[in-house]
Amino acid sequence: MKKTSKIPAITYTIVGHDLAAHLFHVTVTVAAPSDTGQVFALPAWIPGSYMIREFSRNIVRIRAESDGEPVALTKLDKHSWQAAPLKNRAASLTLHYEVYAWDLSVRAAHLDRNHAFFNGTSVFLRVLGQEDTPHVVDILRPADAAAGTWRVATALPELKAKRYGYGTYVAANYDELIDHPVEQGDFALASFKAHGVPHDVVITGRVPNLDLARLCRDLKRICETQIALFEPKTKKAPMDRYVFMTMAVGDGYGGLEHRASTALICNRSDLPTTAAANGDIGDGYLQYLGLCSHEYFHTWNVKRIKPAAFAPYNLQVENYSPLLWLFEGFTSYYDDLMLVRSGLIAEPAYFKLLGKTIGSVLRGSGRTKQSVAESSFDAWGKYYRQDENAPNAIISYYTKGALIALALDLSIRAKTGGKQSLDDVMRTLWQRYGRDFYHGGGRGVTPAEVEALFDEISGGRFKPFFDKYIRGTEDVPLAKLLAPFGVKYADERKSSKPSLDANLGRDGNDCKLSVVHENGAAHLAGLSAGDLLVAVDGLRVTATNLEALLARYTVGSTVHVHAFRRDELMTFDVVLQGERVPGITLTPDPAAKKSAGPLRPSAAR
């Protein structure tokens, strides 16, 4: 590398070059390339989504030039290129490349005549050795007439651009550059302030009668509740501005966190409408608010409070950590908790959501084979690459992690007589590891430090808890932990309801087994995921009538099932079992002695 007191900024341009072909044209110019041949690399994964995605596969063509002359470019591996050393050592080096963008998700890039969206990990080549210099990007308006009225939404700081406009934006380094997704289009836009900090709401896609005013009111309550959790005295948010970016589609769900924004995708029917007869929160809107709450909580928990393995990220290979149960699981615990604390839902609705989470964890036998620490570590190869056997083989660090958070919260409250709670753990993590992370004073937290913190906050000893429920596979004893707080835990599954104990899908109008649960009726009879059910005791099975057919039998009855496996017709004798899907209910018990004090999820400690 040239010896220089100050390396000039890395500069990019990006434009939707061919909307119909879904191609972005990108350039990156390096003012002071390496004397030995500058190396470039595109990330193999995006932080927050723990799977190697090989974004470089979408680079359609690439070339290099300097002083108007071509420069040889050698591909080193699946995501890296090296330019030949320049003859003119004072010259700059520019790469031109096209990126195919047809992934309608929150993780990559998408471009058509309706909008443009990209994450930096999908489009911006990293200049190895110069990641800590300023990175400037000029976002250009596509020449296509369809983009004539488009605006730009991003949390990237403006350099020579107006807010929501095309122009030049800047990041302090490469890590910041790729942590601000960009949306372009004719989107709906609204803003609100949460404890003085501007928050923008961007909705792309057709949503008739969208009630943006209500959405802003509800999000404001969630955001202010979360800010106050981490900074109860100052109410200071960790960012100067925040952007919620949502793509509304016919059928979709997902979110990805960033340091000052989030990219979301949802069903358009989940968004609030001005035509609503009352202010009730339907299931779809409740799910959307929970998603927003989850991603916003990540602003603290994982974007700034990080596991040591992510500080810094290695974007070319897997980054293994046994702590995702804390960073995703705890976030999953708090996302619904913030809804009730902010007053958007009542405590019975919260207990209903919690009961569903408990039931989903107890449903699969994989929880007895994989701990959440192992699930966290294996996320790259198992959780993000699930198949039809996943419920029988793995446990979700999201859902069981949320139950562990609840159990730890209850345990700390019980040990301290209500003087301390999980909130105190989160605030301490924030103060020690997160608050100064982007200001030169933060670092990642290790598993040993996490475990020691629970002992410190509670004055107890949590090693047995970690051994059993985090490093081990035992079910968290929630009934026992909830009882001292006057909350009744009950499993109200309908055991008399005959069942195959399999998840059902459909293939056209046919009924297809998508998951066969271990030791269930279908499994014991020899049926497998992917089998197409044809008939039960000679009566045709369709995509919608299996439950009605089985309802004519009693538990323990044997039925003859015909099914296609691939193109072969097979016959199975199935002994029907009782319903094995947990039906968990949580209700306040007025008669119970609340020896640990009242549990009020609607109020912080």
Mean pLDDT of 285-309: 98
Assess whether pLDDT exceeds 50 at residue 5: no
Q: Which two tokens stand for residue 528?
A: 């497998």
| Residues above pLDDT 70, as percent of the chain | 97
Residue 1, pLDDT score: 37
Which of 21-25, 279-283, 499-503, 574-578 is least confident? 279-283
3-state secondary structure at position 389: coil
Residue 534, sorted as left (phi over 0), alpha (psi -120 to 50) or beta, turns out to be alpha
**Does residue 134 have a cis bond before it (omega within 30 degrees)?**
no
pTM: 0.95
Burial of 573 (0-12, 13-18, 19+ CB in 10 A): exposed
Q: Are 562 and 308 in contact (CB under 8 A)?
A: no
Q: In which residue are the tokens 């919620």 written?
A: 244
566: three-class secondary structure by DSSP:
coil
Before 312, cis peptide (omega within 30)?
yes
Instruction: Give the dihedral sign, CA 323/290/400/482.
Output: positive
Could you report the per-residue pLDDT of 339-369, keeping only the tens digit for each?
999 999 999 999 999 999 999 999 999 999 9
CA 512 from centre of chain: 28
The CB-side HSE value for 547 (13 A sphere, CA atoms) comes to 8
Distance, CA of 482 to CA of 480 (rounded, Å): 6
Reported as a single tens digit per residue, the pLDDT across 148-182 is 999 999 999 999 999 999 999 999 999 999 999 99
Q: Which two tokens stand for residue 163?
A: 């807010």
Percent of the chain with pLDDT over 90: 92
pLDDT in tens, 424-456: 999 999 999 999 999 877 799 999 999 999 999
Cα→Cα distances 73→59, 80, 99, 123, 485, Å: 14, 10, 17, 18, 66
Query: Domains in the chain, please, with CATH?
Result: 10-186 (2.60.40.3650), 187-297 (1.10.390.10), 300-488 (1.10.390.10), 498-578 (2.30.42.10)
β-pairing verdict for 135-140 and 10-18:
parallel
Cα angle for residues 130, 136, 140 (degrees, 5° grid): 140
Neighbour tally for 546: CB within 10 Å: 18
Looking at residue 93, its amino acid is: L
DSSP-derived 3-state class of residue 21:
coil
Q: What is the pLDDT of residues 188-206, one digit of tens each?
A: 999 999 999 999 999 999 9
Tokens of 355: 């009961």
Residue 522 neighbours by CB under 8 Å, 6+ apart: 500, 501, 502, 513, 516, 574
CB 404, CB 331: distance < 8 Å: no
What is the radius of gyration, based on Cα positions, of the chain?
27
Give, in order, the Cα–Cα distances in Å from 141 to each of 13, 15, 100, 144, 488. Answer: 11, 6, 17, 9, 58
Please state, in angstroms and rounded to a whole number, the distance separating the CA atoms of residues 271 and 290: 12
Residue 583 near residue 359, CB atoms below 8 Å: yes
* pLDDT, tens digit (0-9, with 9 covering 90-100), for 108-118: 999 999 999 99
Average pLDDT, whole number, for the chain? 95
